[in-house]
Amino acid sequence: MPKAGITYSTKKIDATDYKALREREEGAVKEELGRIARPDDRIERAAEIIRQADAEIALHLEDRDKAVASLWFFEHVKGLARTIGVTATAYREILSKAYYGGFERRRTASGHFELRPVPDVPGGELVKLAEEAGVPRVENASEDLPRLARVVAAARARRGAAVVFMREAALALMEEPYGWDAEKIAEHAGVGKKLIYQQTRTARLTRER
């Protein structure tokens, strides 16, 4: 996100090979769940993997995003989207949330809403505005960021792989020879009944394609 009037930091933060990381994490989940033959056992383990992943994401995501914002607003480090393995849009959302305290959106001339960008001002002014907005400075952000980003990316990869298995197992349990209803499946997996309805609907649509 190069900006006019900013002297960028020469600091380089090594980026993880996120493609390889995701393939490795997804592969491990697929191998583990693929070995479980019974859908009732499979959905139970898939739900556990998802809960564990959600807990890891909840524990590390905020710290990752604070480190990203600190490095951009106060040190003007470029290439941070690549460093944490997210799209340019997701990166802009992180900065916007840090600066405005949430996802600020504005209406365009065409009537659509778009993410409100952070101020496009010279570096010194950007630092001052960030301080006034309450963006926190994070000590050791450049050292901690790669680890935080890896944890979040790995957890999201495991979660995504487990969700697919959970959907398929939920649908299998609704069909013969099991014939479970959504309430029984939800209770067995430790999740909400609404989620089971959503997952089985998605599984059916996927099967019909």
- Tens-place pLDDT, residues 15-26: 899 999 999 999
Show the domain range for 72: 18-208
Residue at 94 is within a domain: yes
pLDDT tens per residue, range 58-94: 999 999 999 999 999 999 999 999 999 999 999 999 9
Residue at 120 is within a domain: yes
Please report the pLDDT score of residue 76 as a whole number.
93
Residue at 141 is within a domain: yes
Total domain count, the chain = 1
What burial class does residue 167 get, using C-beta atoms within 10 Å of its C-beta: 0-12 exposed, 13-18 middle, 19+ buried?
A: buried
Please report the pLDDT score of residue 120 as a whole number.
84
pLDDT at 170 over 60: yes
Dist. CA 96–CA 72, nearest whole Å? 12
pLDDT band at 164 (very low <50, low <70, confident <90, very high): very high
Residue at 41 is within a domain: yes
Residue at 10 is within a domain: no
Residue at 9 is within a domain: no
pLDDT band at 149 (very low <50, low <70, confident <90, very high): very high
pLDDT at 198 over 70: yes
